[in-house]
Amino acid sequence: MGQTLLPLFPLPLVLFPRTPLPLHIFEERYKELIGDVLQSKSEFGIVLAGEKGIVNTGCSATIEKVLERYPDGRMDLVAIGRRRFEIEALDDEKPYLRGSVEFFDDEEFEPVPAEVKRRVMEGYEALRVVEDETFEPELADPQLSFQLAQIVPDLNFRQALLSARSESNRMKQLAEFFPAYTSRQRQVQHIRSVAPKNGHGKWPPSV
């Protein structure tokens, strides 16, 4: 069993290593969590939360910068993803959840085929145009998949990428995901552009 007891912050999102995460802290238990993390200059864990609870695999984060502190203790801050982990046991002795975790990284290092990378980059650029995405990925990251997947909103797909222990495997998944998702988003945008009109070229009145 891992020996690290990591503060856990359940959220409806999936964080990737070396990617930024803006946070607004307002709940009392998470004010305490962030206060403890700031004092110890340590990591805390971001885990996807759903209707059935939290998932088993998450990503640790450190606080990059506190942007603003409010009189009532609320905070705006930016965290950065660090290391992936699996939860082995939970601890509820504090107001916020903590976990005994085992950190992990990739275990397979098969090179990403050039054709796969080409397809991924083409798919990423096409989706970036559709979504009007402004995030600038670190293209030199050896785990480039995590940078490019920032544009993906599908939480189940993001969680699968986070858990995968092969960069080649993640890139192959992105090569399949980007074209299909981009096509669907184009259709959605087209429908939105024409559906609200009432047949006279005018927007219907608000109700």
pLDDT exceeds cutoff 70 at 3: no
- Please tell me the predicted confidence (pLDDT) of residue 41: 94
Asked if residue 11 and residue 91 are part of one domain, the reply reads yes
Kindly indicate the confidence band of residue 195, based on its pLDDT and cuts at 50, 70 and 90. Answer: low
- Please tell me the predicted confidence (pLDDT) of residue 151: 94
In our burial notation (b when 16+ CB lie closer than 10 A, e otherwise), range 110-130 reads: eebeeebbebbbebbebbbeb
Asked if residue 85 and residue 53 are part of one domain, the reply reads yes
User: Of 104, 133, 155, which residue constitutes the final position of a domain?
Assistant: 104
User: Of 54, 69, 104, which residue constitutes the final position of a domain?
Assistant: 104
Asked if residue 156 and residue 97 are part of one domain, the reply reads no
Tell me the percentage of the chain whose pLDDT exceeds 70. 92
Kindly indicate the confidence band of residue 191, based on its pLDDT and cuts at 50, 70 and 90. Answer: confident
Asked if residue 62 and residue 23 are part of one domain, the reply reads yes
Asked if residue 96 and residue 37 are part of one domain, the reply reads yes
CA angle 6, 63, 90 (to 5 degrees): 15
Q: Calculate the average pLDDT of the chain.
A: 91
Asked if residue 129 and residue 37 are part of one domain, the reply reads no
Residue 205 lies in a domain: no
Asked if residue 57 and residue 145 are part of one domain, the reply reads no
Number of domains in the chain: 2
pLDDT exceeds cutoff 80 at 172: yes
What residues contact 78, with CB distance under 8 A and at least 6 apart? 20, 21, 22, 23, 63, 64, 65, 67
Residue 83 lies in a domain: yes
Given a contact cutoff of 8 angstroms between Cβ atoms, the answer to whether 81 and 59 are in contact is yes
- Please tell me the predicted confidence (pLDDT) of residue 203: 46
Residue 91 lies in a domain: yes
Residue 201 lies in a domain: no
Task: Look up residue 171 and give its two tokens.
Answer: 């890139």
User: Of 57, 74, 104, which residue constitutes the final position of a domain?
Assistant: 104
Of the two residues 75 and 185, the one the predictor is more confident about is: 75
Tell me the percentage of the chain whose pLDDT exceeds 90. 82
Asked if residue 27 and residue 46 are part of one domain, the reply reads yes
pLDDT in tens, 4-49: 699 999 999 999 999 999 999 999 999 999 999 999 999 999 999 9
Asked if residue 97 and residue 144 are part of one domain, the reply reads no
Q: What is the mean pLDDT of residues 187-202?
A: 66
Count CB-CB contacts under 10 A for residue 109.
10
CATH number reported for the structural domain that contains residue 21 in this entry: 2.30.130.40
Given a contact cutoff of 8 angstroms between Cβ atoms, the answer to whether 86 and 102 are in contact is yes
Asked if residue 87 and residue 14 are part of one domain, the reply reads yes
Residue 59 lies in a domain: yes
- DSSP letter, residue 195: T
pLDDT exceeds cutoff 80 at 1: no
Determine the residue type at 170: R
Q: What is the mean pLDDT of residues 163-182?
A: 97
Residue 160 lies in a domain: yes
Given a contact cutoff of 8 angstroms between Cβ atoms, the answer to whether 39 and 100 are in contact is no
pLDDT exceeds cutoff 80 at 52: yes
Asked if residue 139 and residue 63 are part of one domain, the reply reads no
Q: Is the pTM of this model over 0.85?
A: yes
pLDDT in tens, 78-134: 999 999 999 999 999 999 999 999 999 999 999 999 999 999 999 999 999 998 888
Residue that the structure tokens 């990737």 belong to: 16
Residue 27 lies in a domain: yes
Kindly indicate the confidence band of residue 197, based on its pLDDT and cuts at 50, 70 and 90. Answer: low
Q: What is the residue range of 95's domain?
A: 4-104
Give the SS3 label for residue 22: strand
- Please tell me the predicted confidence (pLDDT) of residue 190: 73
Given a contact cutoff of 8 angstroms between Cβ atoms, the answer to whether 82 and 185 are in contact is no
Asked if residue 157 and residue 92 are part of one domain, the reply reads no
Residue 165 lies in a domain: yes
What residues contact 91, with CB distance under 8 A and at least 6 apart? 5, 97, 98, 99, 100
